[in-house]
């Protein structure tokens, strides 16, 4: 059986979540927009899931907008807020290392005439609140800074950034929290106005996510139709997906696997810290479930194939861009040296991993390093 260490790409669905999804689809299959009794029951279930997620996120009065996942929620936040606030200004601030669903949405808005500023990051992937202070303006309408980076695990200084935003503008502060949910406390509602969450990163189901916003700070809709989902996202509601998502959020918040992730991350760091053929890309103070390294003089694909041949699944970087053979914008932004930057792999832990899995991983890494040092022809595995 393969050891799965690509949990930042997606996770194995929780059995309880699968059972909930199946049960709701069988029993509450009616359209929640329908006026009959079955429709009303489905609507009540949807409203209950919405309330549960809002409460678990820290503010029961929040608006929870269910989406097809993190990408749609990020698009709704970036484009939706830009459209709803353009009467105030056209200036938006984000970072160099955002997920493509934020980054490309901002680039789209740039073509539409909005002014976008990208905050730089240091070698650990952190933005500077001081640079944010220099770039923020009275006409800044939106700031979007992810909580935990999906490729290297950097935790951004959200609290410090929030203080700058509140002191110098009326901008909405949005944070992509897809990688922090269930691993770190959410910065919502204390420090940010809106957060993006995704079910399949927390042992939920693919195709379900949400944008959570404070009341009266909602974005403008970017899809049009019958006005479902509180008017923000038209289309027949995925009741079973929403209820299963609420179940996954509850389970992951009740559990605490962070001590395991910290111990495993520290073990890998101790193993590789002094190794000249390896550059550790994940900051020591980052989210411990993501451990990203770059091997010198080889490609990430070679490393992934070697690990897979030895029973371990890892990825080259973000799963969204791992098949393009390009050096990711995150790796470029943190200035990984040229002879390392093509050899990046991301190891990401999940609740279903065990100590024995990590023992095997350590052994495979040691053998892989021996092969590199001997100059063996790893290209045969490409």
Check pLDDT > 50 for residue 381. no
CB 144 within 8 A of CB 90: no
The domain 3-10+257-376 having CATH identifier 3.90.1150.10: the answer here is: yes
Residue 176 has pLDDT above 50, yes or no: yes
Domain 15-254 in the same topology as domain 3-10+257-376:
no
Residue range 291-298: mean pLDDT, rounded = 96
Question: What DSSP state is assigned to residue 170?
Answer: -
- Which residues are designated catalytic? 320
Nearest to residue 264, comparing CAs of 236, 288, 239? 288
Write the DSSP assignment of 30-70 as a string of letters.
S-TTSSSHHHHHHHHHHHHHHHHHHHHHT-TTSEEEEESSH
- Tens-digit pLDDT profile for residues 190-240: 999 999 999 999 999 999 999 999 999 999 999 999 999 999 999 999 999
Domain ranges of the chain: 3-10+257-376, 15-254
The residues, any chain, with a CB within 8 Å of residue 89's CB and separated by 6 or more, are 137, 138, 139, 140, 141
Torsion of CA 64, 69, 75, 78, to 10 degrees: 50
Over 60: is that where the pLDDT of 168 sits? yes
DSSP one-letter string for 261-321: HHHHHHHHHHHHTT-TTEEE-S-TTS-TTEEEEEETTS-HHHHHHHHHHTTEE-BSS-TTT
Pairwise CA distance, residues 95 & 174, whole Å? 12
3-state helix, strand, coil in the chain (%, to 5): 40, 15, 45
**Tens of pLDDT along 144-166?**
999 999 999 999 999 999 999 99
Q: What is the pLDDT of residue 323?
A: 57
The CA distance from 49 to 204, in Å, is 14
H/E segment holding residue 176: strand 172-176
**Residue 376: is its pLDDT beyond 60?**
no
Class of domain 15-254 (CATH, top level): alpha beta
Q: What is the mean pLDDT of residues 285-304?
A: 96
Distances (CA, A) of 16 to 39, 179, 272: 24, 21, 38
pLDDT of 167 > 60? The answer is yes
Residue 303: pLDDT above 50?
yes
- Model pTM above 0.75: yes
* pLDDT confidence band for 326 (50 / 70 / 90): confident
- pLDDT at 322 > cutoff 60: no
Main-chain phi, psi angles of 304, to 5 degrees: -60, -45
pLDDT at 382: 47
What is the reported pLDDT for 27? Answer: 96
Mean of all residue pLDDT scores within the chain: 95
The more confident residue out of 1 and 81 is 81
Q: Judge whether residue 183 has pLDDT over 50.
A: yes
In angstroms, the CA 249 to CA 227 distance is 26
Residue pair 381/306 in contact (Cβ under 8 Å)? The answer is yes
Report pLDDT for 256. Answer: 87
Does the pLDDT at position 320 exceed 60?
no
Q: In this predicted structure, what is the pLDDT of residue 325?
A: 62
Tell me the C-alpha distance between 350 and 200, whole Å: 12
d(C-alpha 265, C-alpha 259), whole Å: 10
CB atoms within 10 A of CB 14: 20
Do 139 and 93 contact (CB within 8 A), yes or no? no
């Amino acid at each position: 059986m393969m050891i799965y260490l690509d949990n930042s790409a997606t996770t194995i669905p929780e059995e309880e979540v699968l059972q909930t999804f199946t049960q709701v689809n069988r029993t509450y299959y009616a359209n929640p927009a329908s006026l009959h009794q079955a429709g009303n029951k489905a609507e009540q279930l949807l409203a209950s899931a919405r309330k549960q997620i809002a409460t678990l996120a820290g503010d029961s009065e929040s608006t929870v907008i269910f989406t097809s996942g993190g990408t749609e929620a990020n698009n709704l936040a970036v484009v939706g807020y830009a459209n709803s606030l353009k009467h105030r200004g056209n200036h938006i601030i984000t970072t160099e290392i955002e997920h493509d669903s934020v980054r490309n949405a901002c680039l789209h808005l740039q073509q539409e005439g909005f002014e976008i500023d990208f905050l730089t990051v240091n070698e650990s992937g952190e933005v500077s609140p001081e640079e944010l202070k220099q770039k923020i303006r009275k006409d800044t309408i939106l700031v979007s800074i992810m909580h935990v980076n999906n490729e290297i695990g950097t935790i951004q200084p959200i609290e410090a950034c929030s203080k700058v935003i509140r002191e110098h503008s009326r901008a909405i502060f949005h944070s992509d929290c897809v990688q922090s949910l269930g691993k770190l406390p959410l910065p919502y509602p204390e420090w940010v106005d809106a957060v993006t969450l995704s079910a399949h990163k927390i042992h939920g189901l693919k195709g379900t996510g949400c944008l959570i916003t404070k009341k009266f700070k909602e974005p403008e809709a970017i899809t049009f139709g019958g006005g479902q989902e509180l008017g923000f996202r038209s289309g027949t509601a995925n009741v079973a997906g929403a209820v299963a998502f609420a179940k996954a959020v509850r389970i992951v918040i009740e559990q605490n696997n962070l001590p395991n992730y910290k111990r495993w991350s520290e073990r890998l760091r101790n193993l590789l810290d002094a190794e000249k053929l390896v550059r550790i890309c994940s900051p020591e103070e980052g989210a411990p479930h993501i451990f990203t390294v770059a091997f010198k003089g080889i490609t990430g694909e070679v490393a992934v194939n070697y690990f897979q041949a030895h029973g371990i699944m890892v990825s080259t970087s973000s799963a969204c861009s791992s098949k393009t053979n390009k050096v990711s914008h995150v790796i470029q932004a943190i200035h990984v040296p040229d002879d390392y930057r093509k050899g990046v792999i991301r190891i990401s832990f999940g609740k279903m991993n065990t100590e024995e899995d990590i023992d095997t991983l350590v052994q495979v890494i040691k053998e892989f390093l021996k092969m590199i040092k001997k100059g063996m022809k790893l290209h045969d595995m490409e």
